Amino acid sequence: MRKIRAYSLYARRQRRRIRTGRPLRQRIERLAFGCSAALFAVLLALLLLAGAGYALLTTDLPTVSQVSALFDHQTGLLLQPTRFYDRSGTQLLYTLETPGYPRKYVSLDPNQPEHFSPELVRVAVGLEDPDYWQNPGFHPLALLDDQPQTIAEQVALDLLLWQEPPGLRRSLRMRLLAAQLINTYGHVQVMEWYLNSLPMGHLAYGVDTGARMYLNRSSSSLTLADAALLLAVHRSPALNPLDALAAALQQRDLVLDQLRARGVLTADEVQRAKAAPLRWNENVPPSASPALAFVHQALSQVTARLGSPRLERGGLRVITTLDYPLQQQLNCLLRTQLLRVSGHASEVKLPDGGECQSAALLPTLPPGLPALPDTLTSSGVVIDPSTGQILALAGDMSLATDGEKLLSHAPGTLLAPFVAVSAFSRGFSPASLVWDIPPASEISSSPIHSYHGPVRLRMALVNDYLSAENQLVEQIGAQNIVQQAQILGLSALQPPANGNLLNEGSPITPLEAAQGYAIFASEGKRNGQTVSGADLQPAAVLYVEDARDGQPLWDARAPQQQTILSAPLTSLVHNVLSDFTAALPSLGHPNAFEIGRPVGVKLGMAQNNQSSWAAGYTRQRVAVFWIGTNADAPIDGRAPAGLWHALMQWMHRDLPATDWAEPAGITHLDVCDPSGQRPTPACPNVVSEVFLTGSEPSTTDSLYQTFQINRETGRLATIFTPPPLIDQKTFLVVPLQARTWAAAAGLPLPPNRYDAIQPPPPSADVRIEQPALYAYVHGRVTVTGTAAGSNLRFYQLQAGQGLNPTSWLQITEQTDQLAQNSVLGVWDTTGLDGLYALRLLVVRQDQTVETAVIQLTVDNTPPTVNLLSPQAGQMLPSGAPLLLQAEASDAVGVDHLTWWLDGALIGQNDQPPFVFSWRVPPGNHTLVVKGYDAAGNESISAPVQFVVK
């Protein structure tokens, strides 16, 4: 019984233990299941992530079979150098290889006739990938390295991933492809591809080509020293035996020392290799092309887009913008003109024996023109302004050389249109008055007849009146003009150290000049292609394609466009460049720039006429030519102008003659020449001029004025001059700074002294003290003097208009009180202007009359003053001084102008032109100008608000 109870107690305890243990076990089981599920989810996520990463990594991954295709003996692209063709795609212009050293595919198999030397393979492996024969194509510890660490990786990067940007993705893809290359083709084949694809400098591609070019031997006979030299050249192509023999040998020795340090070579092998005699070629044949200077331009653009390694590796067809027939005509035209002006026979044939048709259109040279030296050189370029494409380009050609390089030259007055842009954008116009006079210090030594005095800016720009242009450059600032020209395409232009921008100027190429002039031809727009950076360049390439399947790598056939200048501003410059009437003094009529269709042209001279330019355009073509010499021989401008004439006539033989439509924002207005102001009856020459709407002159001409002269004395007539002796004459009134030149040039100047016929001696009892004789007065004029003496009945003040008044205006009532040095009366001149006589009339008791008369000029009209630059709301750059410009006129002459910036006086002009230079600090500003005439009248311009940033 006791056993039964004990067992029953045990059973209850056991059941209780089971009941209490079951939840714990269940919890443990559930926890284990949850952990397993989470681990599975993590593993699944990792697998999915890895799968997604691998998919991303292998998306668009090239196949390694492409490498085999690249080296195919029949169609392999890497065995074909890159070739450049004209725009038709049929005329070969250039092959990117060293002439005489075509590419070959060389085997690693020593049983083949053409095979790589074992020493070359030994050096390559020891130098670049010591464990090459054992590794799987990559190093596991360098998976994330951006640069290739093995030969297989280098092949994968150079031949399959050359377009991909550096980064983690490229690093992993490069190693994946390297492993596939080794796994698929083996180490021997990959090594073979590697040695056949190494760039060796001088456009040589593959070690065999480098061996033949540098050492004049095949790759199968290379020694240890040869192999070390060639692989050293591969590492530093510029240090090669042709260009830097000593440096190339030094690099070879460094390679040998590196191989010894790695245990690849013994000390004895290194010593023998360094001591081995070296045979090398001293030169290679030069590259040839009918347009080598153009090819260099196209080559630089393709290199900027695709990179030099890809371009030199080959297999590309580059279709350029070159018009091959036009290029032939340009080449033969330049050579013909060089022969003509140098005094030689000038018959030049095309390479195929055809006629140089453009040369037949050259204008006849003037008789007696001295022959220029044979060192004369010339260059030229033609572009299509609507696309920015270069159609023909010839580098600097002489009688002894072809135009291989397009060099830079001083632009001189070819910069005149860019000066015009800067001037017109600052308030000047083609009608603005400029003074072509020598500096005061050079008056005695300068040939006075070569200066033209006051001229419109239009005349100065088209005829290269240098003194006037230089004064304008000084006013605007050479730095500001250069910055404007750089925006327009003359990117290399810099301000000259001596400030003489229009005689020297930093050198530019004809291509830069053509790009700048093309903006005027295309109504302010620049057309071209973006090669590198944001600015458009003249395009030399239409497209680049794979030579095997025509797959495009770069398509530049659709031109890009940027607006550089406003249409009205561009039209203003073009109006000047197309004005052959204004150019008559320098070009004459007819001249070489007249080709029977609308054009804009400029003849430019530099370096004391040892450098001469001709630049011009139609709507369809822009052509720029340069001729120069380093000899002391001036070049007649008709030489480059003749080139321009001949080629433009030949190019346009099948093109319609089209003109430019004048845009809105241009105003035509009659002005007085040369002041550019509104005409007066005294103006002898009225011309029509063009202005930006809103900038038309509002002032009347003040250069030409009519004076009354005593014909016998030549002096200014007075009220005391007998009327029969008075003549009216119109004179050009020159400002103070031009009077010395005017006198030296024999220009008639108005007299500045009054007639010698004097009034009767003033009576002590009848006289006018104030105002003074010949004074300028306005408003209410207080007259003081004396009206005294015995038997005074009355005195009265009178005024009469003109030198000899026919009627008199009573100023005061009759007064019978004596006046001694006191106020005689007040003359209200309101509403009056011009020459007047003021008379004091004294009547005695016995009816005798005494008078005192003085001559006055009444001026109640204040000057007209307008601000031209800056313009309202204009935003200007800080740093350089700003050019402030105003115009002012007055019936009797402007005495002076004062400039007020933000309420403070900053300067004064005492004579025209009213231009003031001031360094304005950044911020918002208000500018006004105040004008004063000789009578004391004052006027103020409308305030102009502008911003300096």
Dist. CA 466–CA 419, nearest whole Å: 12
pLDDT given at position 533? 73
At 455, list the tokens: 């001229």
Dist. CA 743–CA 873, nearest whole Å: 44
- Strand ranges for 503-637 from DSSP E: 525-530, 536-537, 541-546, 552-555, 560-563, 600-606, 611-617, 622-628
Judged by DSSP in three states, 646 sits in helix
CB 846 within 8 A of CB 791: yes
Dist. CA 428–CA 424, nearest whole Å: 5
At 453, list the tokens: 């005095």
CB 457 within 8 A of CB 429: yes
pLDDT given at position 867? 85
- Residue 444 — very low, low, confident or very high, per pLDDT cuts 50/70/90? low
At 192, list the tokens: 């073979």
Cα-based angle 72, 75, 81 (whole degrees, multiple of 5): 100
pLDDT given at position 677? 92
Instruction: With CA atoms as reference, report the closest residue to 889 among 917, 861, 922.
Output: 861
CB 862 within 8 A of CB 933: yes
Q: Tens of pLDDT along 146-184? A: 899 999 999 999 888 888 889 998 999 999 999 999 999
Dist. CA 31–CA 39, nearest whole Å: 12
Dist. CA 926–CA 943, nearest whole Å: 6
Dist. CA 616–CA 631, nearest whole Å: 27
Least confident of 89-93, 784-788, 877-881: 877-881
Sign of the dihedral through C-alpha 670, 674, 678, 679: negative
Q: Quote the distance between the C-alpha of residue 355 and its chain's center.
A: 37
Dist. CA 512–CA 516, nearest whole Å: 6
- Strand ranges for 698-787 from DSSP E: 704-710, 726-732, 766-770, 776-777, 780-787
% of residues, the chain, pLDDT over 70: 93
- Report the residue count for the chain: 949
The mean per-residue pLDDT over the stretch 607-629 comes to 93
Cα-based angle 869, 875, 878 (whole degrees, multiple of 5): 90
CA-based diameter of the chain, in Å? Answer: 188
- Residue 130 — very low, low, confident or very high, per pLDDT cuts 50/70/90? very high
Q: Tens of pLDDT along 395-417? A: 999 998 888 899 999 999 999 99
CB 559 within 8 A of CB 387: yes
Dist. CA 947–CA 421, nearest whole Å: 21
User: Which helix (H) or strand (E) element contains residue 462?
Assistant: helix 457-463
Residues pairing with 229 in the sheet: none
Cβ atoms < 10 Å from Cβ of 850: 17
CB 926 within 8 A of CB 901: yes
Cis peptide before 913 (omega within 30 of 0): yes
- Residue 520 — very low, low, confident or very high, per pLDDT cuts 50/70/90? very high
**Residues 15-48: b if buried by 16+ CB within 10 A, e if exposed:** eeeeeeeeeeeeeeeeeeeeeeeeeeeeeeeeee
Dist. CA 548–CA 315, nearest whole Å: 7
What's the predicted TM-score (pTM) here?
Answer: 0.81
Least confident of 241-250, 458-467, 494-503, 621-630: 494-503
Q: Which residue type sits at 332?
A: C
Q: Kind of pairing, strands 611-617 and 600-606?
A: antiparallel
CB 615 within 8 A of CB 623: yes
More confident call, 623 vs 364: 623
Instruction: With CA atoms as reference, report the closest residue to 569 among 698, 415, 423, 676.
Output: 423
CA–CA distance from 201 to each of 435, 639, 696 (Å)? 59, 41, 63
CB 454 within 8 A of CB 435: yes
Dist. CA 567–CA 750, nearest whole Å: 43
Dist. CA 928–CA 942, nearest whole Å: 7
Q: Tens of pLDDT along 254-296? A: 999 999 999 999 999 999 999 988 888 888 887 788 899 999 9
The mean per-residue pLDDT over the stretch 417-438 comes to 93
Q: Tens of pLDDT along 175-230? A: 999 999 999 999 999 999 999 999 998 888 899 999 999 999 999 999 999 999 99
Cα-based angle 504, 507, 508 (whole degrees, multiple of 5): 125
CB 100 within 8 A of CB 567: no
Q: Tens of pLDDT along 565-587? A: 999 999 999 999 999 999 999 99
Instruction: With CA atoms as reference, report the closest residue to 278 among 351, 217, 220, 349.
Output: 217
Cβ atoms < 10 Å from Cβ of 921: 9
Dist. CA 573–CA 569, nearest whole Å: 7
User: Which helix (H) or strand (E) element contains residue 327?
Assistant: helix 324-341
Q: Tens of pLDDT along 45-84? A: 665 565 556 667 788 888 989 888 888 877 777 888 999 9
Q: Which residue type sits at 195?
A: L
pLDDT given at position 548? 78
- Residue 374 — very low, low, confident or very high, per pLDDT cuts 50/70/90? confident
CB 428 within 8 A of CB 444: no
At 721, list the tokens: 């001059």
Dist. CA 202–CA 238, nearest whole Å: 9
Based on C-alpha coordinates, what's the Rg of the chain? 44
